[in-house]
């Protein structure tokens, strides 16, 4: 028995034959899908891809911008390696400076570093928990060989001279004399830092940052001082030179005729600093 072939519908967009749908389901895909020719479809696909790439690039740029705008919080140091300067000769000199400033400029007392706290900082580090503290302690205690290699025959004897300021006059400091002892001391500092760096405690460039010095005075934050009359107040932004210049090394022109100064020394008419 021959099966009759249904006549095509006059309107291709309206096909109602259920039997034909069963035989060839693909024939009933909406004709709107095939409206564009092959070149037109390819062009449309390229446009979609360009839009997707553009949106992806825009999203990536926005994400990168947001990441760059976030400030990375630096870990604040809470421990430091140092050498305490407690020998008799050094302590006498620092006490002399401390007593002079505290008596002559009592309003600056809060800025003075107590002679018992005088030290040279080798480098700073951050220790976040008890384990890291214990590991850092062990790192130091196992560094005796480094000290022997850096100073095989003697202990460095540092001699301090002069006085100066940095940070806009907010810190008064003195420095060790540049000699063989300082070279050995610097070598020791570099070697210790290298070991602590291997252990992951520090990651800075010690050769650029190590500036051996001893802080004598430090102006912290905003400081208001009262003068001798107890009434006049003043906001201090820097430590005035007259507070520490007495201890600067210089060549001076002094008078043998004029009355001596409050410190008992000859009246100074002028000077040039080293």
223-246: average pLDDT? 78
Kindly report, residue by residue over 210-226, the tens digit of the pLDDT: 999 999 999 987 777 77
Assign residue 105 the CATH number of its domain: 3.90.1140.10
How many structural domains compose the chain?
1
- In the chain, what percentage of residues exceed pLDDT 70? 68
Confidence of residue 152 (pLDDT cuts 50, 70, 90): confident
Give a yes or no: residue 159 inside a domain: yes
Give a yes or no: residue 36 inside a domain: no
Give a yes or no: residue 235 inside a domain: yes
Per-residue three-class SS string for the chain? CCCCCCCCCCCCCCCCCHHHHHHCHHHHCCHHHHCCCHHHHHHHHHHHHHHHHHHHHHHHHHHHHHHHHCCCCCCCCCEEEEEECCCHHHHHHHHHHHHHHHHHCHHHHHHECCHHHCEEEEEEECCCCHHHHHHHHHHHHCCHHHHHHHCCCCCCCCCEEEEEEECCCCEEEEEECCCHHHHHHHHHHHHHHHHHHHCCCCCCCHHHHCCCCEEEEECCCCEEEECCCCCCEEEECCCCHHHHHHHCCEEEEEECCCCCCCCCCCEEEEEEEC
Q: How far apart are CA 161 and CA 184, in angstroms?
A: 18
Give a yes or no: residue 44 inside a domain: no
Give a yes or no: residue 98 inside a domain: yes
**What does pLDDT average to over the chain?**
77
Give a yes or no: residue 11 inside a domain: no
Confidence of residue 260 (pLDDT cuts 50, 70, 90): confident
CB 163 within 8 A of CB 172: yes
227 or 70, greater pLDDT: 227
Evaluate if residue 28 carries a pLDDT over 90.
no
Residue 123, strand partner residues: 81
Predicted local distance difference test score (pLDDT) of residue 23: 45
Give a yes or no: residue 125 inside a domain: yes
Kindly report, residue by residue over 155-205, the tens digit of the pLDDT: 788 888 889 999 889 999 999 999 999 999 999 999 999 999 999 999 999
Give a yes or no: residue 160 inside a domain: yes
The parent domain of residue 224 ranges over 75-255
């Amino acid at each position: 028995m021959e099966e009759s072939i249904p006549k095509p519908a006059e309107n291709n967009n309206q096909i109602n034959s259920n039997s034909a749908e069963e035989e060839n389901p693909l024939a009933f895909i909406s004709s709107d899908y095939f409206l564009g020719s092959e070149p037109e479809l390819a062009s449309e696909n390229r446009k979609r891809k360009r839009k997707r790439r553009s949106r992806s690039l825009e999203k990536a740029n926005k994400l990168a911008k947001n990441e760059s705008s976030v400030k990375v919080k630096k870990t604040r140091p809470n421990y430091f390696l140092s050498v305490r300067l407690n020998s008799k000769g050094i302590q006498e000199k620092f006490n002399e400076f401390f007593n002079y400033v505290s008596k002559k400029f009592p309003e600056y007392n809060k800025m003075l570093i107590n002679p018992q706290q005088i030290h040279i900082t080798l480098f700073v580090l951050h220790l976040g928990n008890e384990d890291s503290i214990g590991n850092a302690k062990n790192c130091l205690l196992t560094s005796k060989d480094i000290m022997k290699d850096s100073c095989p025959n003697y202990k460095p004897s540092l001699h301090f001279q002069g006085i100066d300021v940095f940070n806009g006059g907010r810190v008064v400091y003195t420095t060790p004399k540049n000699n063989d002892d300082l070279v050995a001391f610097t070598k020791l500092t570099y070697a210790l830092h290298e070991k602590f760096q291997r252990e992951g405690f520090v990651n800075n460039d010690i050769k650029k940052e190590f500036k051996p010095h001893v802080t004598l005075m430090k102006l912290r934050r905003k400081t208001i001082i009262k003068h001798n009359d107890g009434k006049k107040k003043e906001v201090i932004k820097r430590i005035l030179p007259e507070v520490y210049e007495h201890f600067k090394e210089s060549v001076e022109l002094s008078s043998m005729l004029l009355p001596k100064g409050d410190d008992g020394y000859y009246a100074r008419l002028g000077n040039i600093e080293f």
